[in-house]
Structure 1
Amino acid sequence: MKVLVIGSGGREHVLAQKCSHSKLVDEVFVIPGNDAMSKVATIVSEIQESDHELIKDFVVEHEIEWVIIGPEQPLIDGLTDALEQTNAKVFGPNKAAAQLEGSKEFAKKIMEKYNIPTAEYQTITNKDEAAEYVEQCKIPIVLKKDGLAAGKGVIVALTRDEAREGIETLYETQNEKVVFEEFLDGEEYSVMTFVNNEFAVPFDCIAQDHKRAFDGDQGPNTGGMGAYCPVPHISEEVLQETNQKIAQPIADALVSEGINYFGLIYIGAILTENGPKVIEFNARFGDPEAQVLLTRLDSDFVELLEKVYKKEPITLEWKDESVVGVVLASKGYPGTYKKGYVVEGLEELDQYFVSALKKNDNGQFENNGGRVMIAIGTGDHIESAQKNAYEQVSKIKSDILFYRNDIGHKALKAQK
């Protein structure tokens, strides 16, 4: 069969690789892809992921059997709905279902209605009212822009001054919808869940992301500076509780609301003293969690999609190894950064996935975005996988990139 992956980042790079390894797949295409994906797929860079009509025409013309939508924006914009007019099966929720990620308020209201554990919240749509609120609310407080913000619309204000600054950042106009959430303390973890309406299958291997820009969880929130799996200090019992209280209930809640959901639900969870609670839902694979989880996944990915589509029993097979992924980002990210700097050494890496590199006229890779790539290390345990990952990082030569030096540190600390 022929498979089409939509997107151009590291998550789509690993999805294309997994599809290319499937015994069911003859050819993989990526729209628009990036130059580093050419080893695993045919890159269709002349079509943009926002051009639904051209994508639809491509799917029909090339007789694509599966379309896998990687990023959130095409889901929010209704690409799945557009592709329903073709014969392709689409892994990714329709526009109505993608609100689970597209609107923080929508997700909070569903959780509130169906008693899914999450932080208490308040939505404020006026900047002046928000300014008054942060003068008397409990601190720390979490501010979340209601819509999509590429992983940068969340501010964890540890002080009242930071809350005031957060208002200035998120209220670009006088009237913006911002969700103010109770700060939850605990260990964060990410659970990916295959969902076909009431049929929900959470991954039995979880990942842990590192959101802050700098070592020791310092600096601003980002889309993710690295991840690792498995997470040895989050127990099987916690995972089962997450499934019972969050994964299955959110699938059932969407059905009850008359929403048809087929795709993946990412549960950004936190283990509090009162048990697992939801920090956020995404309507697609997390990035960079996807890169480490799918590296460790031993099952045929497209075979899994077929089983989810048919609601057949699924057993996920995992390699007997740990995986650590270290993100290399452009200096200045998640704020402003410069593009067009040469990045060398990729050919020396054992495994990596690219988010924002493109080839210049001389055939050299240049940075072309904030998070540029992720170097993958594997090993018998987290410590050896971490060592291997940073050995990979050391082979990259560039004046523009930075990275954290402590990806996986929470696992190592917990094991001591």
Structure 2
Amino acid sequence: MKILVIGGGGREHALVWKIAQSPLVTQIYCAPGNPGTASLATNLPIKVEEIDKLLGFAKSEGIDLAVVGPELPLSLGIVDLFREYGVRIFGPSRAAARIEASKAFSKDLMHKYNIPTAAYGVFTEIPAAEAFIRKTGAPIVVKADGLAAGKGVIIAQTEAEAIEAVQDMLSGNAFGDAGSRVVVEEFLTGEEASFLAITDGRFVIPLASAQDHKAIFDGDQGPNTGGMGAYSPAPVVTAEVHQKAMEQVVQRAVDGMAAEGCAYQGIVYAGLMVKDGEVKTLEFNARFGDPECQPLLMRMKSDLVPLLLAVAEGDLSGHSIEWHDQAAICVVMAAEGYPGDYPKGDSITGIEAAEQLTDVTVFHAGTAEKDGRIVTAGGRVLGVTALGNTVAAAIERAYQGVEKISWRGVQFRRDIGKKALGRI
């Protein structure tokens, strides 16, 4: 099979890495890819939003299956386009991808189909949003309705801060069109977990549990990012929590999407808040999380390709997933200044030394090659991912890898996985 992976981040490097292990695969292409994918696939100079060019390549090259990594091409309708021309593709349709592309759509879906979530309001006018904020009180959460690269969420500690966030978004200053409508919702307390599943629109198979670390600094301090690290399994997802997440959240979402006439096929990602054994849904994403994808795929024992193919063909029945007993952890190494402005072009050293460690893989996210050197080219630069017989062993090994890598101004959290240790 010839596979085309669409995207160029850490998630896509992990997908290429896992797909390359399948005996079914003869050739992998990655668009646009990165220096990490280049050792396993042929990188293509096509941007993820250039969906017509991607289709043209898939048709001319005889691609057997396209796999969409990021949310942007999904929201642009790449799945609909490829299906129209008979090219098999893994991912939800444009209508189904609204579960991530529009937080208002997602919250309304949760409300309609009795999926536990926070109380909320959807607003396009500042005065109405202000009134809701004053009635609800702080802390309170303000979200841009559209796609904002994982950064369109403001956890406001005061009413004034929330009102300022609403004003910034609705005026178009903060997130452009993504903030032309806002969702304001009550602040939930508890411990976050990432619950991912693969579905053909009817049949749902859960993936292993995981936990992301969104804040930039240790102790979940500072502004949110696209994710500073993740680990799997997540002890907060007990057997009871797992069952509730499947029955009350994921299955209801999949069934609800089908009832709405936009059957959901692909990865459905539920961001959960867990408290006292109960779950509430923070958000849905329409693809693998990044960085959750990296530890999940390292733990996946099964061949990923038959699963992707089954979803693309609309029938996942009869499939299952085996997992390694080991734990896995990904520590994101980011550029100085991220999630704000950051420099590019700084030389990175030590990647090869890190990968010589047992069970350590370095997934490239924001890197580029320049004059034979690997340099920084994004905010989140690398995801150092390791396996271990225990969470503690995986943490130790990952940070051994991190310590071997350096560039000017590198930053990373030093407490990835610490919450898991407190529950073991």
Aligned pair in 2 of structure 1 residues 259, 170: CA closer, same or farther (>3 Å)? same
Distance 1:169 1:215 in 2: 27
Counterpart code for 2:224: N
Measure how far apart 1:291 and its partner are: 0.6
SS state at 2:89 partner: strand
Is residue 13 from structure 1 mapped to residue 19 from structure 2 by the alignment? Answer: no
**Alignment counterpart, residue 256 of structure 1, candidates 259, 271, 279:** 259
Aligned equivalent of 2:91: 92
Give the equivalent residue in structure 1 for 2:189.
185
Supply the distance in 1 between the matched residues of 2:155 and 2:91 (Cα, whole angstroms): 29
1:159 corresponds to 2:158: yes
Structure-2 separation of matches of 1:131 and 1:121: 13
| Residue number in structure 2 paired with 1:58 | 57
Cα distance, 1:162 vs. partner? Answer: 3.0
TM-score between both structures, scaled by the size of structure 2: 0.94
How far 1:186 moved relative to its partner?
Answer: 1.1
Amino acid at match of 1:123: V
Is the Cα–Cα contact under 8 Å of residues 213 and 404 in structure 1 kept in the other structure?
yes
Shift of 1:320: 2.0
Counterpart CA distance in 1 for 2:37 and 2:9 is 9
Whole-Å Cα distance in 1 between the matches of residues 33 and 268 of structure 2? 23
> What is residue 336 of structure 1 aligned with on the other side?
341
Letter in 1 for 2:185: E
Q: Which residue of 2 aligns with 1:107?
A: 106
Please list every run of at least 4 consecutive aligned residues from structure 1 whose deviation after the TM superposition is greater than 4 angstroms. Answer: none
The AA in structure 1 aligned to 2:51 is H
Equivalent-residue separation in structure 1 for 2:223 and 2:351 (angstroms) = 28
| Aligned match of 1:302 | 305
Q: Equivalent residue for 1:353?
A: 363
Aligned to 1:363: 372
- 5+ residue gaps, structure 2: 174-178, 356-360
Looking at structure 2, the residues matched to 247 and 136 of structure 1 have their Cα atoms a distance apart, in angstroms, of 31
In structure 1, distance between residues paired with 2:277 and 2:422: 23
* SS class of match (2:36): helix
Equivalent pair of 1:7/1:49 in contact (CA under 8 Å): yes
| SS at 1:84 equivalent | helix
Quote the offset at 1:167 in angstroms: 2.6
Q: 1:137-152 to 2 correspondence within 5 Å?
A: 137-152=136-151
SS at match of 1:344: coil
Correspondence 1:401 to 2:406: no
Q: Which amino acid aligns with 1:380?
A: N
In the alignment, does 2:123 pair up with 1:127? no
Partner of 2:40: 40
TM-score (norm 1): 0.96
Between Structure 1 and Structure 2, how many residues are aligned?
412
Task: Judge conservation of contact 2:204–2:251 (CA < 8 Å) in 1.
Answer: yes
Tell me, what secondary structure is at the counterpart of 2:423?
Answer: helix
1:114-164, CA deviations, whole angstroms, 9 ceiling, x for partnerless residues?
111111100121224334443443211111100000000001112334324
Secondary structure of the 2:244 match is helix
Residue 218 of structure 2 corresponds to residue 220 of structure 1: no
| Structure 1 stretch displaced more, 385-394 or 157-166 | 157-166
- Structure 1's unaligned 5+ residue stretches are none
Residue of structure 1 in register with 2:245 after alignment: 242
CA contact (8 A) 2:307 2:316 kept: no
User: How many angstroms does 1:343 deviate by?
Assistant: 1.3
TM-fit CA distance, 1:274: 7.1
User: In the alignment, does 2:387 pair up with 1:378?
Assistant: yes
Offset of residue 314 of structure 1 = 2.4
- The structural deviation recorded for 1:249 is 0.9
